[in-house]
Every structure is written in structure tokens, then in C-alpha cells.
């Protein structure tokens, strides 16, 4: 495939959801040919927005090293679902290229049946001991780049789930207040072996974007997010056709090339006024 037009790169980077929908209707090898030409930081949000099956079929046409880099950067549940739908040989190649800690985390998730909560738990959800202070929680959140949940799980000294901490409560509480005094204890944890469908019906989703997940001993394993739940439900309730004639790839490419040409005409019309050309993506 020829080098991607700048407009295509911009589309992938700025509209990952729309790009995912467009790539899902291409033949997997054509979708892979597009994503193979962009940096991982651009392809990761697109992979995350794709259905699990479409993402896996696309990834199967990429080198194992590229898939490993994508899976390392993907949110946990998205990485699990992508690798779950790869064939055994391809999955093994990816595991061999992943850092040991990441590989073990993903393998643990894949040990669960796909319809259970444990198969979708975000194992890297940050948690704090309930005996810590508000100042400690603020410090932790200040160093987290991607945490966007409404609540933070709390644990006791035995690492057992002890309640959820509303992030909003940290704004008005005294820095020296103990977190246990702010805990929302009415939110019961879901067990890792319970069905994901049972978690979907919980009223707690009205209050929190994350539900804590525990093992049979009550020890916190992580959390399942509303975003993950919505994605799983969407995939199970709709049957997306992920393979069409590959000619669609070339029709899409032709459309994007034509669109970039039109954009260039519009831009060059203003070149005399000192307009700055679009920079190449590195």
C-alpha cells in the first residue's frame, strides 16, 4: 500500500472511533496495512475502539512485535479481548515479546471464561489502604495520568476490599482525614467468577463508573469499568460484519486522497496570506 496521505493520518489520530468503524468493514489485511504505517500511539486508540473480533483479525496480519507493543499500551480489558481472539500460535508469539509482568497479567485474565467478570477486570486499578489520609490519596491521583474513574477502591491491611472512595469527596475533605471516614461501603464488590451479565444489572452503576472485583477470599483484584461493560454489551447485542470485499479499502483510500487534494486546493488559495501548511506526522 502506498504511503498514507496526511489527511488519513489526521483522521486516525483525531477520530479513532470513526476510524475504527471504517477499518472494521475492510478486509483484515487491508485494515492492518493501514495501521502498520502509523505509530503505536496512534493505532492504540483505534484498536481500543474496534470490536474484539475485528481488532484480532486485523492484528493477525501484523508482526508479533507490533501486536505486543499495542497490547502493552492498550487498557487491560481491550488487550485481553484482542489476544483472546487470536489463534494459539499467534498469541504465544505475542506473549514471548511482552514484558513478563504484562504477560502474566494478561494470562491471568485469559484463564477466566469470557463471560465472567474476571475476564474483563482492570487489574491495574489503583487502590489505597483505608487507614491512609486524604493527602495521600491526592498525592496518588496527582501522579496518575490515565485514571478517570469516579471512585477509588479502598483495602484493609489484609488487602481485602473495604469500600469505594468518591473522588469528589477528596476536594472538600481535610488533608488529615482518614479515608475510611469517607468510604462508600454500600457498594458491594463483585466476585471474579460471577457472570458479567449479573454485574450489568447493578444499581451501583448510577453512582460509580467502576465496580470493585474480588476473589473468593474478598481480596481486591481490580475493577470492572462502565466503559468496558458497555463495549461488551454492544458487541454481544450486535453482529458486526467485519469482512467485506477488499475493494472497499481502495475506495476508502481513493476518497481520502481526493479529500486531501481538495484540502490542499483550499489551503493553497490562502498561501499568499502566510498560512502554515499541515505538518507531517512523525
Give tens-digit pLDDT for 178-205: 999 999 999 999 999 999 888 888 999 9
Which DSSP helix (H) or strand (E) runs through 13? helix 6-14
- Distances in Å between the Cα of 223 and the Cα atoms of 35, 60, 170, 209, 254 are 30, 29, 20, 10, 43
Calculate the average pLDDT of the chain.
85
pLDDT tens for 214-234 read 999 999 999 999 988 888 877
The mean per-residue pLDDT over the stretch 229-251 comes to 58
The pLDDT assigned to 268 comes to 47
As a whole number of angstroms, the distance between CA 263 and CA 268 comes to 9
Report, in angstroms and rounded to the nearest whole number, the Rg of the chain calculated over CA atoms.
22
Q: What does the pLDDT read at residue 148?
A: 83
pLDDT band, very low/low/confident/very high, at 238 (cuts 50, 70, 90) = low
Q: Is residue 110 over pLDDT 50?
A: yes
The DSSP line for 21-59 is HHHHTS-HHHHHHHHTTS-HHHHHHHHHHS-HHHHHHHH
Which one, of 112, 110, 137, 111, lies nearest residue 126 by Cα?
Answer: 137
> Is residue 252 scored above 70 in pLDDT?
no
Task: Kindly report the number of other CB atoms within 10 A of residue 240's CB atom.
Answer: 13
Percentage with pLDDT > 90 across the chain: 67
What per-residue confidence (pLDDT) applies to 2? 59
What pLDDT is attached to residue 237?
A: 65
CA distance 105 to 83: 12
Note the pTM of the prediction, 2 decimals: 0.73
Q: Percentage of the chain with pLDDT > 70?
A: 83
Return the C-alpha cell found at 210: 467502576
Largest CA distance in the chain: 71
Residue 9: which region, alpha, beta or left (left: phi > 0; alpha: psi -120 to 50)?
alpha
The three cell numbers locating residue 233: 454489551
Amino acid at each position: 500500500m502506498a504511503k498514507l496521505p496526511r489527511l488519513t493520518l489526521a483522521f486516525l489520530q483525531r477520530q479513532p472511533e470513526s476510524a475504527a468503524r471504517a477499518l472494521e468493514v475492510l478486509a483484515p489485511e487491508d485494515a492492518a496495512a493501514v495501521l502498520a504505517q502509523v505509530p503505536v500511539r496512534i493505532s492504540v486508540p483505534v484498536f481500543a475502539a474496534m470490536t474484539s473480533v475485528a481488532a484480532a483479525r486485523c492484528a493477525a496480519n501484523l508482526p508479533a512485535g507490533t501486536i505486543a507493543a499495542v497490547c502493552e499500551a492498550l487498557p487491560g480489558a481491550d488487550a485481553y479481548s484482542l489476544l483472546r481472539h487470536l489463534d494459539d500460535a499467534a498469541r504465544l508469539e505475542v506473549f514471548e515479546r511482552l514484558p513478563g509482568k504484562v504477560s502474566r497479567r494478561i494470562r491471568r485474565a485469559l484463564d477466566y471464561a469470557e463471560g465472567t467478570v474476571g475476564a474483563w477486570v482492570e487489574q491495574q486499578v489503583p487502590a489505597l489502604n483505608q487507614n491512609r489520609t486524604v493527602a495521600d490519596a491526592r498525592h496518588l491521583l496527582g501522579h496518575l495520568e490515565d485514571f478517570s474513574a469516579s471512585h477509588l477502591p479502598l483495602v484493609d491491611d489484609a488487602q481485602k476490599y473495604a469500600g469505594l472512595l468518591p473522588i469528589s469527596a477528596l476536594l472538600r475533605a481535610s488533608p488529615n482525614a482518614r479515608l475510611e471516614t469517607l468510604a462508600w461501603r454500600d457498594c458491594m464488590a463483585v466476585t471474579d467468577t460471577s457472570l458479567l451479565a449479573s454485574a450489568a444489572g447493578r444499581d451501583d452503576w448510577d453512582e460509580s463508573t467502576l465496580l470493585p472485583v474480588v476473589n473468593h477470599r474478598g481480596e481486591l483484584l481490580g475493577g470492572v469499568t462502565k466503559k468496558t461493560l458497555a463495549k461488551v454489551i454492544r458487541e454481544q447485542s450486535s453482529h458486526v460484519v467485519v469482512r467485506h470485499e477488499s475493494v472497499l479499502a481502495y475506495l476508502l483510500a481513493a476518497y481520502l486522497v481526493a479529500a486531501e487534494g481538495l484540502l490542499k486546493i483550499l489551503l493553497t488559495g490562502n498561501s499568499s496570506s502566510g498560512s502554515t501548511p499541515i505538518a507531517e506526522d512523525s
